[in-house]
Amino acid sequence: MEKRVIGIVLTILGIIGLIYGAISFVQGKSTGHDIKLIVVAFILGLIFFASGIGLIRNTNDKAS
């Protein structure tokens, strides 16, 4: 059950990162520093989202 909770937390953090990156991208910030921040937010969001979904999918719950 703990792995499933960690997977849910990672998934939520990934969604937040993807939303933050998308909002920053749509706002049209064009400096070099802001572009790096947008790319990092997207990449971390994708990594967290994918690992969270993988943890949820591959975790087997045992009946107590």
Q: Give the start-to-end residue ranges of the domains of the chain.
A: 2-58
Q: Is the dihedral of CA 57, 3, 11, 40 positive or negative?
A: negative
What's this model's pTM, rounded to 2 decimal places? 0.80
Side chain identity at 4, as an amino acid letter?
Answer: R
pLDDT at position 29 is 64
pLDDT at position 12 is 95
Residue 2: CA atoms inside 13 Å, Cβ hemisphere, count? 0
Of the candidates 57, 36, 46, 43, the one whose C-alpha atom is nearest the C-alpha of residue 15 is 46
Could you tell me the mean pLDDT of each successive run of 10 residues in the chain, 64 residues long? 88 93 80 81 93 88 64
Give dist(CA 23, CA 13) in Å, integer: 15
